[in-house]
Structure 1
Amino acid sequence: MAWAVALLLLGTLALVAWGTLRGRPQDLPWTPLDLGQPIGAFTGRKLTALAGDAPACRGLLTQSGVRYTALPTRRDGQCGYDDAVRLIEGGARKVALSPAGIGIACPIAAALAMWEWDVVSPAARRHFDAQVVRVDHFGSYSCRRLYGRDAGAWSEHASANAIDIAGFRLSDGTRISVARDWQGSGTDRETKAAFLREVRDGACRLFATVLSPDYNAAHHDHFHFDQAERGAAGWRACR
């Protein structure tokens, strides 16, 4: 165990030195988060740390030009949320969520904005020479336990701290579906599958949890993103 801690410490020190030398504040653990900066080594942890600080999170959205409406606190027994927002199409975000009007925890909204800017849009240009205009989703808030069980831990959906992404629509009319296109077959499908894997992998740098069809059958048709707080260790799941 001691060697593992030592390796983690050495790795962190190396990242800090690298970030300092390259003039990349996003690679340093103590610098403020800026949604307009490229993704750095500590961006994901800083996004997760926004949980419980709604004013700071909303301030970052405003600073980066993301339009939103703050939602009132909601309580449904042991479920509910305090910091949810509804993203509004326009402003710095050129990609719409479909269906519109979804309420999501602010740290999810902040990570989604960066994911669209720094991961999804560049991937669409690279693979299709087109723009993403809509991201299809299966929702966020749902008062339920993990996998809909009757007992056990509550899902991050129970606090709107998660979103399930189903697919993408491009400016040239192309539609990409996680359910249909994850397993590529033929040139068109292979390109779509490569795009889906790239945006999945990019999400792993921004969200605490990213689950895809590679994880289990329950995720065969969507990506699950959440910002679960996992204490000081801060381990992250990317499958």
Structure 2
Amino acid sequence: MIRAGALICIALWAGVASAEAPINAPAPPVRPTIAPDTLPRPLARPDGLIPAPSTPETDLAREAMATPASQYAVQTSTPPIARTGRVERRAAEIIAARARGMVCSDPDIQGEYIAPINGAGACGVDQPVRLRSVMGITFNDRPTIDCPTAIALKNWLSRSAIPVIGSEGGGLERLNLMGHYSCRNRNGAASGRLSEHAFGRAIDIGSFRLRDGSEISVLNDWGTRANGRQLREMHRGACGIFGTVLGPEANAAHRNHFHFDTARYRSGSYCR
């Protein structure tokens, strides 16, 4: 009886051992080895996709784009490109040239000082200048006047004539003059009081030449719709800058030009 039980136990242990033993399954097939030289290589990037080298400017641009947009965010921009030495030298040359040619202590007034004028009788100018340009505007005849009149002319050009004409015809290029210093009486009369022209304090303007070659004429355009408004605005703009302002409606002697002078009156500017 005892021997039969022992045989049963041995049989049970053999079954458990056979269940826990590894299964002798066939091994998987070995993968073929691929030589490194036969592996496919990645395609080269087109030139346009190659990233540009990093610079301070591009770094700033990337940072600006990467920053989340916000209505409260402070706007940033790339710094301006530094001017080259060549540009700076050219700018310095222009400034120096203007300084050499300026008169009346104003670089916008270009010309030269000339000797005092001692005319007949009371005619004459103590410190005359002969102008080449004012505010970049030239003349058909270089005028001889004094500095207060030259400064008044600059103020009128900058405040009235240049902005009134604006970009029409490319902008104002030249003043066509009909008079400046001249030892004569008022209105060219044979007798009477001397004109302000006799003291270098007056200038007469007959027309305005534009950059495209066209002209605005006091004689021909004062009464027209096309340019009459501009002429009237320029005439009105001179009042207060100059002491006397005369135009086509003042008298027959001024039907074809503007007369501006720097005479001063207790009652203020005389404008007709």
Bin for the TM-score computed over the shorter chain: 0.5 to 0.7
> 5 Å matches for 1:14-93?
61-78=104-121, 79-89=123-133, 93=135
Decide whether the 8 Å contact of 2:170 with 2:212 is kept in 1: yes
User: Aligned pair 1:156/2:196, yes or no?
Assistant: yes
Deviations along 1:41-96, one digit per CA (max 9) or x if unpaired, are xxxxxxxxxxxxxxxxxx9842453222112111122211112111223xx72110
Q: Distance in 2 between matches of 1:161 and 1:212?
A: 17
Instruction: State TM-score, norm by structure 2.
Output: 0.58
Q: Distance in 1 between matches of 2:159 and 2:169?
A: 16
Which residue is 1:125 aligned to?
A: 166
Question: CA 1:77/1:60 → structure 2, altered by over 3 Å: closer, same or farther?
Answer: closer
User: Aligned pair 1:236/2:269, yes or no?
Assistant: yes
Q: Secondary structure at the match of 2:170?
A: coil
Q: Distance in 2 between matches of 1:150 and 1:142?
A: 14
Deviations along 1:4-50, one digit per CA (max 9) or x if unpaired, are xxxxxxxxxxxxxxxxxxxxxxxxxxxxxxxxxxxxxxxxxxxxxxx
In the TM superposition, residue 141 of structure 1 has moved relative to its aligned partner by 1.2
Of the three residues 114, 138, 146, the one matched with 1:96 is: 138
Which residue is 1:140 aligned to?
A: 180
Instruction: State TM-score, norm by structure 1.
Output: 0.66
Which residue is 1:195 aligned to?
A: 230
Letter in 2 for 1:145: N
Letter in 1 for 2:140: S
Question: CA 1:68/1:154 → structure 2, altered by over 3 Å: closer, same or farther?
Answer: same
Aligned Cα root-mean-square deviation (Å): 1.9
Q: Distance in 1 between matches of 2:117 and 2:169?
A: 42
Q: Distance in 2 between matches of 1:63 and 1:132?
A: 20
Letter in 1 for 2:136: K
Of the three residues 156, 160, 164, the one matched with 1:115 is: 156
Which residue is 2:259 aligned to?
A: 224
Task: Select the structure with the greater relative contact order (CA < 8 A; seq sep ≥ 6).
Answer: 1
